[in-house]
């Protein structure tokens, strides 16, 4: 069986069968405050489909954060 390559996101590599928390830099505000996106990457041991899950796109929709936490 061929070996899977690691996921590479923002210079971070996540090997098959592992998980990682990555802070992805997005922008810098006019007052020089950095803005980032926290990612939880789970790379399965076996080949298969890839899924992306997002929550809290709008600041008042916080229940999605709990749903994603339970999914993980």
The model's confidence at residue 2, banded by pLDDT at 50, 70 and 90, is low
Contact 38, 30 (CB under 8 A): no
Average pLDDT over residues 53-67: 84
Closest CA to 35 of 47, 23, 43: 23
24: Cβ–Cβ under 8 A, 6 or more apart, which residues? 9, 10, 36, 37, 38, 39
- Parse the chain into domains and list their residue ranges: 7-71
More confident residue, 3 or 39: 39
The string of pLDDT tens digits covering residues 10-55 is 899 999 999 999 999 999 999 999 999 889 999 999 988 989 998 8
């Amino acid at each position: 069986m061929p070996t899977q390559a690691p996921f590479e996101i923002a210079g971070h590599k996540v090997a098959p069968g592992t998980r990682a928390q990555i802070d992805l830099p997005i922008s810098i505000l006019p007052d020089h405050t950095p803005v980032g996106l926290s990612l939880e990457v789970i790379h399965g041991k076996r080949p298969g489909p890839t899924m992306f899950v997002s929550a809290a796109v709008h600041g008042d929709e916080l229940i999605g954060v709990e749903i994603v936490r339970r999914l993980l």
